[in-house]
Amino acid sequence: MLPIGPLMIEHRLIERMIQVMRKELQRFEKERKADPIFVDMAVDFIRTYADRCHHGKEEDILFRELSKKQLVDEHKRIMDELIEEHRWGRKTVGELVDAKEKYATGDNDQLTTILDRMSALVDFYPKHIEKEDKRFFLPCMEYFNEQEKGSMLSEGWEFDRRLIHEKYENVVVNAEESLQAPNK
């Protein structure tokens, strides 16, 4: 099994979530009203699964190992683009969260930002995934021998195993900090 198999499987789940987000975005636009609970759920999925889990493995394992190889210019350029796209996604999700927080406290002017940021994300992910699937992942496997591929695959499984513990440790830390906040 190629180490990109799990990454491509993850792409399929991300695509499904993006479709759900697209439908909710259409509902928000039609009703001229956002659902902060849905936005929270979508943000959690994108931050935890798409970014921390999926992009984390790309950046912390695949891109790290590719950076040790003599890449052709096209692959180096695409890898740099992907890293920049990951940063853009994080920034856009942060802007969505900020707008949702303000909207949830009654600032209805934030609806425009929520719609814009959600629209940007549902437009971004399919193109980003297509670039990885069709123009990057498969050709880049040629840089690795079978032992290197196996090592990356094992590291990816270990990365996934630790992720749930990291997520819920952060949940507890945030809850503890909330209890210690001055207004509690």
Taking the C-alpha atoms of residue 36 and residue 38, their distance in angstroms, rounded to an integer, is 5
Buried b (16+ CB within 10 A) or exposed e, 42-73: bbebbbbbbbbbbbbbbeebbbebbeeeebee
Question: What pLDDT score does 3 carry?
Answer: 62
Q: Left (φ > 0), alpha (ψ -120 to 50) or beta: where does 106 sit?
A: left
**Residue 36: how many CB atoms within 10 A of its CB?**
13
CATH number, position 102: 1.20.120.520
* Residue 182 counted as domain residue: no
Orientation of helix 36-44 relative to helix 73-104, angle to 10°: 150
pTM of the full structure: 0.88
Specify if 138 maps to a domain: yes
**pLDDT tens-digit map of 24-73:** 999 999 999 999 999 999 999 999 999 999 999 999 999 999 999 999 99
User: Residue 66 domain-assigned?
Assistant: yes
Evaluate whether residue 163 is within a structural domain. Answer: yes
Q: For residue 184, is it within any domain?
A: no
| Range(s) of the domain holding residue 65 | 4-177
Q: Is residue 183 part of a domain?
A: no
Which class for 114: exposed (0-12), middle (13-18), buried (19 or more C-beta within 10 A)?
buried
Query: Residues 112-158: pLDDT tens digits?
Result: 999 999 999 999 999 999 999 999 999 999 999 999 999 999 999 89
Asked whether residue 29 is domain-assigned, the answer is yes
Give domain status of residue 100, yes or no.
yes
Q: Which residues, 6 or more positions from 98, have their beta carbon under 8 angstroms from its beta carbon?
A: 113
What's the domain count of the chain?
Answer: 1
